[in-house]
Structure 1
C-alpha cells in the first residue's frame, strides 16, 4: 500500500534533475528507437526481396533468436569491461550488418541463406542499451524511491518507442523501399550508442570484479521469481495480440479496430507505469510482483467474457495497467539481486524472459485459436501469469526467509 508520508516523495522531475540524466536518457532513447523500427523493417524488406512470407518469417526468427538468447552474454560483456569499451564495437558491427542487410534486400532476388546469415549475425551483436540504461539509473540515483520512478519512466518511454516505431516505418515505406527502414535503424543505433557512451553518467558504472560475481547475476535463485513472471507476462501479451485479431475477424470488425484495441493495451500500460512510479509503495517489490501478476491474470480472464469489441478494449486496457508496473517491479528485484558490478546482466535476464515468453506465446496462441473457444483462450492465457504469480509468491517468501537467516548470522541480505 502507499506510504502516507508524501511530503518528501521524489517526482519524475527529480529523476531528470539528477546530473546528466536528461542527456543520457535521450541518447539511450535514440538508440533504442532503432529496435522499434528494425523488426518490421527487416520483415518488409525480406518479403520484398524474396517474395516469400515463409522466408521472411525464418529471417525474423533467426534475428529474434540471436537478439534474445544472446542478450545475457552481451550484457555480461558490458558488466565485465564497462559500457564505454563494450558497447561501441557491438553497435558498430550491428549497424554495419544492418546496412549489409539493407543493401541485399534493396532489390528483389536476394538469397535466403545470405539474408538469414546477416540477420542472425546482426541480432547476435545488438547492443543492450535498455539493460545498461537501467543499470545507469540504479547507479546514479541517490535513493531507491528515485530508482523506482526512473524505471517507471524508462518503461513508459520504451512502450511509446515500440508503439511509434512501426508507425514511422509505415510512413517511411510510402516514399522508399523497406530497406530504408533498416538503414534508419542502423543510423539510430550508431548515433544513439555513441552519444550514450560519451555521457559522463557512465563513468560511475561499476564493472564486475570477477567471473564468479558475473555468473551470480544469472544463477542467483532470488532472480528466478522476476524472470518467471516476466516470461509469463510476455507470453500472455503476445497471445493477446492474436486473440484480439481473431475476435475482430469473427465479429465482423475491420483491421483498424484491432489496432485501436491493441493501442488501448499500450495506453493502459503507459498509465499504469506512470501511476506506479508516482506512488511511494510501502510493500517491498517482492510482495508487489505476484500481486501485479495476479491482477494481469484476472484482467485477461475478464477479457474472455467480453461480448463485444468495446468491452474487450476496456478489459484489455485494464490488463495493460498491470503490464508496465509488473515489468518495472521485476527490474527492481533484478537490480536488488544483482552482485556488485553485474546489474546489466541481471536486468538482461528479465528482458530475455519477456522476449522468449513473447515468442512462445505467439506459437501457442496460433495452436489454441484454431480449436479452442476464444473466451477459453483468454482465460488459459491469463492462467500463465497467474501461475507465475504463485511461483513468485513462494520464491519471495523463501528469499525473505533466507534474508532473515542471513541477518541473524550477521550476513547481508538483499539490498533495498
Structure 2
C-alpha cells in the first residue's frame, strides 16, 4: 500500500511578490501619484483663494465644489471607460484637469469669483477616474486570485495616505513659495501619474468584457437591488469618515490644540494602511459577504469609545481602530461589486461605489458641522453612520451573496481569452 504525501501548503503571499509582478508597481505608483491632487487640490485652492484676498468662506466653497464635482462625474467617466477604454478617458481628463488648475490664478485679474468657480468646477469634473480604472485592471494584471486579493488590499489601504501626504506637500509649497506654485505642482503630479498609468500596456489594451448570455440581458440592469443596497450601505461608511473629520476639528478647538485636526485623521488613515497590510497577507476561507459584514461590525464597534468623550491622546489612538477595518470593508465591497454587476459595466459600477462613499462623506461633514458645538452628538455621528451601514448590510446579506460566489476574494470572471468552466 502506497502512502501519498499531503499536498504542500500554498506559498505565503508577500507584498514583494505582488509589487514584483509585471506592471503592478507602475500602475499602483502611477495611480497614487495621479490621485495626489485629490488630497492636494482642495487645500491648494483654499490657500490660493485666501492669498488672493477672498474670504475663507469663499475659498472653502471652491474647495468643496472641486471635491463634489469630481465625485459626481465618476459614474459618467466609468461608463466612458467601459465603452472606449481607459487611455481614451484618462489622458484627455488629466490634460484638462491640469490645464484648469494651472489656469486658476488667471481668474483673479481677468474674471473674478465667477470665472474661478467655473474653473474649479470644470477641474473637478475632469478629474481622471484612476481609482475605478485600477480596480478594473487587477484581474488582467494579476491572474492569481491570492495576489489579486493582496493587491486590492494594498491599493485600498494606501488611498488614505494621499490625504496625509497631499495637504502636507501643499502646505510646504505654499509657505516656501506660493499657492500658485502649489497649484502648478498639483497639476504636474496629476498629469505625470495619470500618464504613467494610461500609457502602460495593460491600460492601453484594456477593454470591457463582451456581454454574453445572462449578462447580455442584464446589460442595462446595473441598478439591481443587491447593488443598490450595497451602495446605500457605503454611504454610511462615508458618513462616518466625514463626521470624524469635523469632530477632529471640534476636538482641536475644545482642547486648544490645533494640530489635533490633522493628527486624528492621520491616525485614522494610518490605521487603514496597516489594517490593509495585515488583511492582504492572509488567505481567507470565509465568503466575501461574511467578511464584509464582520468588518463593518468591527468598524462600528471601533467608533463607540468616542461616546465616552476621550482626551486627545485616547481619541487619537481610538480612531485607528475603525481605520484598521475600513480597508477590509472597502476591499470586500469592491469584490462584491465585481460579483454582482454585469461583466461589461464594472468600471461604471466601481465609480458608483466611489460616489456612494463620497456622497456619504459630504453628508457627514455637513451634519457634523451643524452639531459641532454639541460634543456628545458630534462624537456619536461616526458611530451612527457605521450603524446605518451595518444595518443595511445585515438586512441585505442574502441578496449580496450571488450564486456561486467564491471565497477568498476571488473574482467571478475569468481572464479574457480563457473559457469559463462550469
Q: Say which SS state the counterpart of residue 398 (structure 1) adopts.
A: coil
Matches of 1:34 and 1:27 in 2, distance apart? 12
Query: Residue 330 in 1 paired to residue 324 in 2?
Result: no
Counterpart of 1:193 in structure 2 is: 194
Q: Say which SS state the counterpart of residue 280 (structure 1) adopts.
A: coil
Counterpart of 2:51 in structure 1 is: 48
Matches of 2:111 and 2:48 in 1, distance apart? 10
- Equivalent in 273, 276, 284 of residue 276 of structure 2: 273
Query: Residue 99 in 1 paired to residue 102 in 2?
Result: yes
Matches of 2:381 and 2:33 in 1, distance apart? 37
Shift of 1:132: 0.5
- Structure 1-normalised TM-score? 0.88
Shift of 1:77: 0.4
Matches of 2:389 and 2:88 in 1, distance apart? 37
1:170-205 superposed Cα distances (whole Å, 9 cap, x missing partner): 110122221222111211222222221111122442
Counterpart of 1:247 in structure 2 is: 251
Distance 1:145 1:229, change over 3 A: farther
Matches of 1:342 and 1:18 in 2, distance apart? 26
Q: Is the 8 A contact 1:208 1:214 kept in 2?
A: no
Q: Is the 8 A contact 2:338 2:412 kept in 1?
A: no
Shift of 1:6: 6.0
Query: Residue 90 in 1 paired to residue 79 in 2?
Result: no
Distance 1:119 1:228, change over 3 A: same
Distance 1:257 1:239, change over 3 A: same
Q: Tell me, which stretches of 5 or more residues in structure 2 are unaligned?
A: 1-7, 406-410, 415-422
Q: Say which SS state the counterpart of residue 142 (structure 1) adopts.
A: coil
Shift of 1:323: 1.4
- In the TM superposition, 1:341-360 aligns within 5 A as 341-360=344-363
- How many residues align? The count is 398
Distance 1:19 1:253, change over 3 A: same
Matches of 2:122 and 2:220 in 1, distance apart? 25
Distance 1:307 1:55, change over 3 A: closer
Query: Residue 226 in 1 paired to residue 227 in 2?
Result: no
Shift of 1:117: 0.7
Q: Tell me, which stretches of 5 or more residues in structure 1 are unaligned?
A: 407-412
Q: Is the 8 A contact 2:243 2:368 kept in 1?
A: yes
Counterpart of 1:146 in structure 2 is: 147
Q: Is the 8 A contact 1:148 1:332 kept in 2?
A: no
Matches of 2:220 and 2:41 in 1, distance apart? 31
More off after superposition, 145-154 vs 256-265:
256-265
Counterpart of 2:321 in structure 1 is: 318
Distance 1:185 1:258, change over 3 A: closer
Counterpart of 2:163 in structure 1 is: 162
Q: Is the 8 A contact 1:213 1:342 kept in 2?
A: no
Shift of 1:262: 2.7
- Structure 2-normalised TM-score? 0.87
Matches of 2:69 and 2:385 in 1, distance apart? 25
Matches of 2:178 and 2:204 in 1, distance apart? 40
Q: Is the 8 A contact 2:94 2:190 kept in 1?
A: yes
Distance 1:195 1:414, change over 3 A: closer
Q: Say which SS state the counterpart of residue 237 (structure 1) adopts.
A: helix
Counterpart of 1:27 in structure 2 is: 30
Matches of 1:365 and 1:228 in 2, distance apart? 20
Counterpart of 1:409 in structure 2 is: none
Q: Is the 8 A contact 2:243 2:381 kept in 1?
A: no
Distance 1:140 1:254, change over 3 A: same
1:47-96 superposed Cα distances (whole Å, 9 cap, x missing partner): 22242122222222322222111111011101110012222111111121
Matches of 1:304 and 1:60 in 2, distance apart? 30
**Bigger helix fraction:** 1
Q: Is the 8 A contact 2:42 2:64 kept in 1?
A: no
Q: Is the 8 A contact 2:343 2:413 kept in 1?
A: no
Matches of 2:107 and 2:178 in 1, distance apart? 12
1:359-394 superposed Cα distances (whole Å, 9 cap, x missing partner): 111110012223x4x234323430222121121122
Q: Is the 8 A contact 1:336 1:414 kept in 2?
A: yes
